[in-house]
C-alpha cells in the first residue's frame, strides 16, 4: 500500500494551506514506458524505499523501476495473481493467487518466493492488504465472500472472516481497523483486526458497485470510487457520506496524497480524476487528466506526488455468438506504464 507523508501540519493550519496546493501546476502524463511482457494486469503496489513498482501480470508479478521504466525483477508462479501487499519492515511481500486459492510469500529484497499459503475456505483471493500494527495480511476472496487472515510473521493462515458480499478494495487506518468495499451489495464494512471480526456494515447510498478505496487517516475520511461515475467521501467512524464528487467511467483504484490534500481516481475510460480537499468535508474537482484507455488501476508515489498507471493496446473482434461484448486480444509487447505528475 502507498505510504502517506510522515509530516502533516495540524488542524486549521493544514487546511489554511490547502488553497496553495490548489494553485500548483496541473497534472499530465510525463512519461510512457513500454514494458512488454506476457499477461494482462490487475492491481499495482508501490514500494517507496526501494523505488519499485509491483504489477500483477496474471501468472507472475513484474517489478519495475518507474523512474526509468526498466524491468528490475520478476516473481513467477503466482497463478491468477490479483494483488501484492508489501510489509517493508519484515522484508516481505504477499501475492493473492486467484486460480489456485493461495497466497505466495516472497522476500522483498531478493524477490525470492519463500512460502505458499493455501486458503482452503477462501476462493479466488483478489485484493490483498497488510496492516503494520497487527502484522497481518488479509486476502479478500471474491468467490467465497470472505477474508483470509494471515500471520505475516509466521506465514500461516489464522482465521477466515465472513463478509456481506463480494469484496473489492481495502484500506487500513493505522488504528487497528481495515475497511473494505462490498461490490455487489453497495456497502462498506469495517473489520477489527485484533478480534478479526466485522464491527460495522454501512450502506453507500448513491454508489453503484464500489471499487476503488483510499483514506485520509488524519481526517478519518474514506474515498470510495463507484461505477456510476461517483466518488463518495465517507466518515470512517460513523459511515456517513459527507460529500459526493463526479469521476470518470470504469473506476478501479483511488489514492490520497496527504501532503497535497489530493484525492486521485483512475478510470478505464482513460481519465484520472483529481479532487482537492479544500476544507473539512468540502471537496472540489481540480482536474481531469487524459491518460489512456484501459488505465483503470493505479499506485501513488506520495513522496514525488506521482501516479503510476498501466494499460495496453488491444485488437477487437466482433462478439461471439450469444455474447454482447466484442472479443479483445492484447497486442503482444504493448503493455505500457504511464507516469503522471505535475508539469
- Above 50 in pLDDT, residue 13? no
Residue 173: the pLDDT is 98
Does residue 261 or residue 316 have the better pLDDT?
261
Q: What confidence score (pLDDT) does residue 148 get?
A: 98
For residues 341 and 273, the answer to whether their CB atoms sit within 8 Å is: no
Contacts with 203 (C-beta within 8 Å, 6 or more apart), sequence order:
186, 187, 239
Q: What percent of the chain has pLDDT over 70?
A: 93
List % helix, strand, coil for the chain (3-state, nearest 5): 5, 55, 40
Report the alpha-carbon distance of residue 51 to residue 55 in Å, rounded.
13
Of 7-21, 68-82, 208-222, which range is least confident? 7-21
* Alpha-carbon distances, residue 147 vs 80, 161, 174, 182, 197 (angstroms): 17, 5, 19, 12, 10
Q: What pLDDT score does 7 carry? A: 34
For residue 82, give the C-alpha cell. Answer: 490479483
Q: Decide: 84 and 122 in contact? Cβ < 8 Å.
A: no
Report field, pTM of the whole predicted structure over 0.95? no
Q: Longest C-alpha distance within the chain, in Å? A: 61
Element (H, E) at 19: helix 11-22
Euclidean distance between CA atoms 277 and 286, whole angstroms:
10
Residue with cell 483504484: 253
Cα 230 from Cα 51, distance rounded (Å): 32
What's the mean pLDDT when you consider all of the chain? 93
Q: What is the DSSP string of 272-290?
A: EEEEEEEETTEEEEEEEEE
Per-residue pLDDT band at 92 (split at 50, 70, 90): very high
Give the count of beta carbons closer than 10 Å to the beta carbon of residue 72.
14
The three cell numbers locating residue 332: 503482444
Q: How confident is the model at residue 326 (pLDDT cuts 50, 70, 90)?
A: confident
- 292: confidence class by pLDDT, cuts 50, 70, 90: very high
Instruction: Using the predicted structure, report yes or no on whether residue 1 has a pLDDT greater than 70.
Output: no
Residue 206, pLDDT > 80, answer: yes
Q: Indicate the pLDDT class of residue 24, thresholds 50, 70 and 90.
A: low
Tell me the pLDDT band of 316, cut-offs 50, 70 and 90.
Answer: confident
User: In this model, does residue 236 exceed pLDDT 80?
Assistant: yes
Residue 79 has pLDDT above 70, yes or no: yes
User: Mean pLDDT across the stretch 39-61?
Assistant: 97
> Counting runs of H as helices and runs of E as strands, what totals does the chain give?
1, 30
The pLDDT assigned to 214 comes to: 98
Would you mind telling me the total number of residues written for the chain in this entry? 343
Q: State the average pLDDT over residues 168-173.
A: 98
Whether residue 170 is predicted with pLDDT greater than 50 in this model: the reply is yes
Rg for the chain (alpha carbons), in Å? Answer: 19
Q: What is the pLDDT of residue 280?
A: 79
Name residues whose C-beta falls within 8 Å of residue 334's C-beta, 6 or more positions apart in sequence: 34, 36, 312, 313
Amino acid at each position: 500500500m502507498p505510504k502517506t507523508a510522515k509530516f502533516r501540519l495540524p488542524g486549521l493550519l493544514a487546511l489554511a494551506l490547502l488553497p496553495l496546493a490548489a494553485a500548483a501546476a496541473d497534472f499530465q502524463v510525463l512519461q510512457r514506458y513500454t514494458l512488454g511482457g506476457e499477461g494482462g494486469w490487475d492491481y499495482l503496489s508501490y514500494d517507496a524505499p526501494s523505488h519499485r513498482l509491483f504489477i500483477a501480470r496474471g501468472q507472475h508479478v513484474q517489478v519495475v523501476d518507474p523512474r526509468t521504466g526498466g524491468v528490475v525483477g520478476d516473481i513467477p508462479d503466482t497463478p491468477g495473481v490479483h494483488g501484492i501487499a508489501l510489509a517493508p519492515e519484515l522484508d516481505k511481500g504477499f501475492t493473492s493467487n486467484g486460480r489456485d486459492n493461495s497466497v505466495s510469500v516472497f522476500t522483498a529484497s531478493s524477490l525470492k518466493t519463500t512460502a505458499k499459503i493455501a486458503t482452503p475456505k477462501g476462493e479466488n483471493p483478489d485484493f490483498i492488504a497488510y496492516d503494520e500494527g497487527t502484522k497481518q495480511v488479509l486476502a479478500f476472496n471474491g468467490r467465497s465472500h470472505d477474508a483470509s487472515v494471515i500471520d505475516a510473521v509466521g506465514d500461516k493462515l489464522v482465521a477466515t472472516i465472513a463478509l456481506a458480499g463480494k469484496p473489492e478494495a481495502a484500506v487500513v487506518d493505522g488504528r487497528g481497523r481495515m475497511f473494505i468495499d462490498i461490490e455487489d451489495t453497495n456497502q462498506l464494512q469495517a473489520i477489527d483486526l485484533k478480534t478479526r471480526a466485522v464491527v460495522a456494515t454501512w450502506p453507500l447510498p448513491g454508489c453503484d458497485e464500489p471499487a476503488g478505496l483510499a483514506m485520509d487517516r488524519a481526517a478519518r475520511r474514506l474515498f470510495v470510487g463507484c461505477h456510476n461515475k461517483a466518488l463518495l467521501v465517507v466518515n470512517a467512524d460513523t459511515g456517513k457520506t459527507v460529500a459526493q464528487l463526479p469521476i470518470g467511467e470504469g473506476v478501479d483504484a483511488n489514492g490520497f496524497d496527504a501532503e497535497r490534500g489530493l484525492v486521485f481516481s483512475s478510470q478505464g475510460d482513460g481519465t484520472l480524476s483529481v479532487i482537492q480537499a479544500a476544507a473539512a468535508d468540502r471537496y472540489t474537482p481540480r482536474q481531469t487528466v487524459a491518460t489512456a484507455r484501459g488505465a483503470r488501476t493505479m499506485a501513488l508515489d506520495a513522496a514525488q506526488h506521482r501516479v503510476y498507471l498501466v494499460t495496453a493496446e488491444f485488437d477487437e473482434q466482433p462478439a461471439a455468438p450469444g455474447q454482447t461484448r466484442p472479443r479483445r486480444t492484447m497486442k503482444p509487447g504493448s503493455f505500457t506504464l504511464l507516469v503522471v505528475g505535475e508539469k
